[in-house]
């Protein structure tokens, strides 16, 4: 394509004759004043009505109305040749030929010179380079004369920078070795033609692209599975242009469309994994990419999992079978340790086993052996007993948590019977003979008397009640014949078992024995030993009888057997001072009153000061008061007039006791009677951590010789 030099048309004219008709002017004109050609043509006769023709430098006759070249008659004696969009290819010698009527020709030539002005043929902008490479900035300048090229950056000639990285090549391109991001900017390619005083320039934007640099914030990320939690993986990337981010999991591309599982941040630098489970454990790679290159970083997601029992199985065995094995399998990360226990005991400890180091534990009696091998543990029971049946709990534990599952060992065995072999009663007293049955499968229970199945018409006073674990034979003896042996027999498909029970006629208890009598002025404490024979049934009460020597009538009192047996003491009250008494004891059971013991004599003491009362305390509802219960002891032979109560802080042992007002012995508010409550808070409130109270009883004969102390924390 010819290089254009102007948009204005170039014209050649044949003007009217100058001084006579013998002359015609051919003129070439261009808007630029430097382009001008003139030819003078001498013709014979008048130039009027003569034919004027134009020829291009290659001899081609130029015809009117061509697309870019126009030939126009101005009048009869002039013609104009116009070249539109003239370029340097249009330069040359143009010929103007005038032909007379007689066929004679005259011609003139015009030498048209066209200069190429400064033009930038190939200087694209922007021009992009990768940081670190040798950049060559392209700028092709064309002109009729070779131009002088100067490169400028930030207004200064780059050569004057004295930076050896900047070199102007022989083709006038600018080379920047190992280009940096700081070299980025606008570079001016300036062309000069000094001969014509022509200057032109082209600004070229230079962009330095920086390859991505990417770094994972954490190369290893830990998470816990099956908690419904999310984990976020983060990569920080920089570069120019800003890199785009993508992610892979174990080499497979993660797509943005997987919204149910993955969530990306706006710039994809963060990958959030929802509801983390064990399958999410993998190597994740974040890839940063731009036009300058790409780089990646790896993140290893380690997913820990709480233990989960994956396999247990119930087992069935026969009693006395050689062995049975229970198995427990568990998953989890870290590998869980597996322990065994029952509802009543731990069988194994938390020893962690691995594939290469199996673990074996054994009970001292060798009855149970636990073997653990990584995620699997087995419990072997040897020489199976019926007591081995029941629930076995397998627990898998690691640092994340634990899981437990139960399995059941079913042991089939023949019936086993238990119960009190000897049962006591008496005629007319209903009693139950209990036959406890342990059997699996369940057993059928039967009762026999002298080989006869019960109940029967011969034994109308017998009833049978059955439960899943026992059978009860209810007997109401009518005579001596109802006492004796009864047989309980249990049968299942494994075997049978029988147990003989004896129904024994109960007797009244033997007599208690009196060890010692401790007399006081008006009371006496009788220490005794329980009867050697209870008669087969529990003792219900003790009867104490006493009388003064010389009297015929025995006084008596009943005492609850449980209370009396706790200390082995009964207390007789209402005695006279300095009087000799005889006392004897008897025991009562369901059959009746037993033998009475031999009488034991004692003499009461003279009238004296009362014994110290016993104290019992009860904390008030407000937590800052206490009620003291005074329990009357021996009054020394005369009525108690009042009690004296003292108190002090328990920790201040050196401090004297504070003293409360005397409390009378008659019942009523503000007075203390035997076996009544003294409200200490009605006199004093406690502001110390604890307190100690003491009490003394006074009669007309004096005060008790010692205080009874009671301590309570507030």
Query: 241-267: per-residue pLDDT in tens?
Result: 999 999 999 999 998 777 789 999 999
> Listing from the earlier edge strand, what are the strands of the sheet with 444-449?
422-425, 496-505, 484-491, 444-449, 452-454
Please state, for a pLDDT cut of 70, what percent of the chain lies above it.
81
pLDDT at 316 over 80: yes
The greatest distance separating any two alpha carbons of the chain, rounded to the nearest whole angstrom, comes to: 207
How far is Cα 258 from Cα 275, in angstroms, rounded to an integer?
13
User: What sign results for the dihedral spanned by CA atoms 638, 642, 648, 654?
Assistant: negative
In the numeric block, the tokens 């009461």 are attached to 604
The more confident residue out of 504 and 110 is 504
> Listing from the earlier edge strand, what are the strands of the sheet with 135-137?
135-137, 174-176, 166-168
Please state which CATH number belongs to domain 10-112.
Answer: 2.60.40.10
The more confident residue out of 195 and 27 is 195
pLDDT digits (tens, 9 = 90+) for 577-618: 999 999 999 999 999 999 999 999 999 999 877 777 777 777
* pLDDT given for residue 99 in this prediction: 84
The topology under which CATH files domain 313-413 is Immunoglobulin-like (2.60.40)
* pLDDT given for residue 52 in this prediction: 85
Cα 463 to the chain's mean position, in Å? 62
Cα–Cα distances in angstroms (integers) from residue 375 to residues 354, 356, 379, in the given order: 8, 12, 14
How many distinct helices (H) and strands (E) make up the chain? 1, 60
Residue 606 tokens, joined:
């003279």
State the burial class of residue 612 (Cβ atoms within 10 Å of its Cβ: 0-12, 13-18, 19+).
Answer: buried
pLDDT at 142 over 60: yes
pLDDT digits (tens, 9 = 90+) for 622-636: 767 777 777 767 776
Instruction: Select from 1.10.3720.10, 2.60.40.10, 1.10.3660.10, 3.30.70.260 the CATH code of 513-603.
Output: 2.60.40.10
State the burial class of residue 420 (Cβ atoms within 10 Å of its Cβ: 0-12, 13-18, 19+).
Answer: exposed
Domain-wise residue ranges, the chain: 10-112, 119-209, 217-304, 313-413, 419-505, 513-603, 614-713
* pLDDT given for residue 694 in this prediction: 55
* pLDDT given for residue 651 in this prediction: 60
User: What sign results for the dihedral spanned by CA atoms 276, 280, 283, 285?
Assistant: negative
How far is Cα 90 from Cα 5, in angstroms, rounded to an integer?
10
* pLDDT given for residue 666 in this prediction: 41
Q: Which CATH class is domain 217-304?
A: mainly beta
Residue 358 — very low, low, confident or very high, per pLDDT cuts 50/70/90? low
Q: Which CATH class is domain 614-713?
A: mainly beta
> Listing from the earlier edge strand, what are the strands of the sheet with 614-619?
614-619, 626-631, 676-679
Q: DSSP assignment of 469-537, as one string?
A: SEEEEEE---SGGG-EEEEEEEE-SS-EEEEEEEEEE--PPPPPEEEEEEE-SS-EEEEEE--S--TTS
pLDDT at 669 over 70: no
Beta bridge partner(s), residue 369:
362, 380
What DSSP state is assigned to residue 239? E
pLDDT (average), residues 277-306: 94
Residue 251 tokens, joined:
């080499």
The more confident residue out of 671 and 418 is 418
Contact by Cβ (8 Å): 416, 496: no
What DSSP state is assigned to residue 660? P
* pLDDT given for residue 640 in this prediction: 74
pLDDT at 664 over 60: no
Instruction: Report the range of poorest mean pLDDT among 16-20, 96-100, 642-646.
Output: 16-20
User: What sign results for the dihedral spanned by CA atoms 153, 159, 162, 168?
Assistant: positive
The more confident residue out of 85 and 619 is 85
Among 642, 641, 611, smallest CA distance to 707 is for: 611
What value does the mean pLDDT of the chain take?
A: 83
Instruction: Report the range of poorest mean pLDDT among 69-73, 448-452, 613-617, 663-667.
Output: 663-667
Architecture of domain 119-209: Sandwich (2.60)
pLDDT at 677 over 90: no
The topology under which CATH files domain 419-505 is Immunoglobulin-like (2.60.40)
pLDDT at 670 over 70: no
Cα 88 to the chain's mean position, in Å? 84
SS3 of residue 561 by DSSP: helix
pLDDT at 654 over 80: no
* pLDDT given for residue 33 in this prediction: 35
pLDDT (average), residues 75-97: 83
pLDDT digits (tens, 9 = 90+) for 13-70: 444 333 333 344 454 444 343 333 333 333 334 445 568 888 989 988 888 777 788 8
Neighbours of 553 (CB within 10 A): 8
pLDDT digits (tens, 9 = 90+) for 528-575: 999 999 999 999 999 999 999 999 999 999 999 999 988 899 999 999
Please state, for a pLDDT cut of 90, what percent of the chain lies above it.
57
Residue 89 tokens, joined:
């290819």
pLDDT at 514 over 60: yes
How far is Cα 159 from Cα 150, in angstroms, rounded to an integer?
9
Q: Quick check: do 119-209 and 313-413 share a fold?
A: yes
């Amino acid at each position: 394509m010819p290089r254009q030099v102007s948009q204005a048309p170039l014209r050649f004219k044949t003007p009217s004759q100058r001084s006579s008709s013998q002359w015609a002017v051919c003129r070439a004109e261009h808007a630029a004043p430097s382009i001008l050609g003139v030819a003078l043509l001498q013709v014979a006769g008048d130039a009027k009505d003569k034919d004027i023709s134009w020829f291009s430098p290659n001899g081609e006759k130029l015809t009117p109305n061509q697309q870019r070249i126009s030939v126009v008659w101005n009048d009869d004696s002039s013609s104009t040749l116009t070249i539109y969009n003239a370029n340097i290819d249009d330069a040359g010698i143009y010929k103007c030929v005038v032909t007379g009527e007689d066929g004679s020709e005259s011609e003139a030539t015009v030498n048209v010179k066209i200069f190429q002005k400064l033009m930038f043929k190939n200087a694209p902008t922007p021009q992009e380079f990768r940081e670190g490479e040798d950049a060559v900035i392209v700028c092709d300048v064309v002109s009729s004369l070779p131009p002088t090229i100067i490169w400028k950056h930030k207004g200064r000639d780059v050569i004057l920078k004295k930076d050896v990285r900047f070199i102007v090549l022989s083709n006038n391109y600018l080379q920047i070795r190992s280009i940096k991001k700081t070299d980025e900017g606008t570079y001016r390619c300036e062309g000069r033609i000094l001969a014509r005083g022509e200057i032109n320039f082209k600004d070229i934007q230079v962009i330095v692209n920086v390859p991505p640099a990417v770094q994972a914030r954490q190369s290893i990320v830990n998470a816990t599975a099956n908690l419904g939690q999310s984990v976020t993986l983060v990569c920080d990337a920089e570069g120019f242009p800003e890199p785009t981010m993508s992610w892979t999991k174990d080499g497979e591309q993660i797509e943005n469309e997987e919204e149910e599982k993955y969530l990306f941040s706006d710039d994809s630098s963060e990958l959030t994994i929802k509801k983390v489970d064990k399958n999410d454990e993998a190597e994740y790679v974040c890839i940063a990419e731009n036009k300058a290159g790409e780089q990646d970083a790896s993140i290893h997601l380690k997913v820990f999992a709480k233990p989960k029992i994956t396999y247990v199985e119930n087992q069935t065995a026969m009693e006395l079978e050689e062995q049975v094995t229970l198995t427990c399998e568990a998953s989890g990360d870290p590998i869980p340790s597996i322990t065994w226990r029952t509802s009543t005991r731990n069988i194994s400890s938390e020893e962690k086993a691995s594939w290469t180091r199996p673990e074996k534990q054994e009970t001292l009696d060798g009855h149970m052996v636990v073997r653990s091998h990584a995620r699997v543990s087995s419990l072997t029971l040897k020489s199976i007993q019926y007591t081995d049946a029941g629930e076995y709990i397998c627990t898998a534990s690691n640092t994340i948590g634990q899981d437990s599952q139960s399995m059941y060992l079913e042991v089939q065995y023949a019936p086993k019977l238990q119960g009190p072999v000897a049962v006591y009663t008496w005629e007319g007293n209903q009693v139950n003979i209990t036959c406890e049955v342990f059997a699996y499968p369940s057993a059928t229970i039967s009762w026999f008397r002298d080989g006869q199945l019960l109940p029967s018409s011969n034994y109308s006073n017998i009833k049978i009640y059955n439960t899943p674990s026992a059978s009860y034979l209810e007997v109401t003896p009518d005579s001596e014949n109802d006492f004796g042996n009864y047989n309980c027999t249990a049968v299942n498909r494994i075997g049978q078992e029988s147990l003989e029970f004896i129904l024994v006629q109960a007797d009244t208890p033997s007599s208690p024995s009196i060890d010692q009598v401790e007399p006081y002025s008006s009371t006496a404490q009788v220490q005794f030993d329980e009867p050697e024979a209870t008669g087969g049934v529990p003792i219900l009460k003790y009867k104490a009888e006493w009388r003064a020597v010389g009297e015929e009538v025995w006084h008596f009192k009943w005492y609850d057997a449980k209370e009396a047996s706790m200390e082995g003491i009964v207390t007789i009250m209402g005695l006279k001072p300095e009087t000799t008494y005889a006392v004897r004891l008897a025991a009562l059971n369901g059959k009746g009153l037993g033998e009475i013991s031999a009488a034991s004599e004692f003499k009461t003491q003279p009238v004296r000061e009362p014994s110290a009362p016993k104290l019992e305390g009860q904390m008030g509802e407000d937590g800052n008061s206490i009620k003291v219960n005074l329990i009357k002891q021996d009054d020394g032979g005369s009525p108690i007039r009042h009690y004296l109560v003292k108190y002090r802080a328990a920790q201040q042992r050196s401090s004297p006791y504070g003293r409360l007002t005397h409390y009378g012995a008659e019942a009523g508010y503000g007075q203390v009677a035997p076996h009544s409550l003294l409200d200490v808070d009605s006199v004093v409130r406690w502001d110390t951590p604890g307190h100690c109270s003491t009490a003394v009883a006074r009669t007309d004969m004096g005060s008790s010789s010692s205080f009874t102390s009671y301590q309570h924390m507030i």
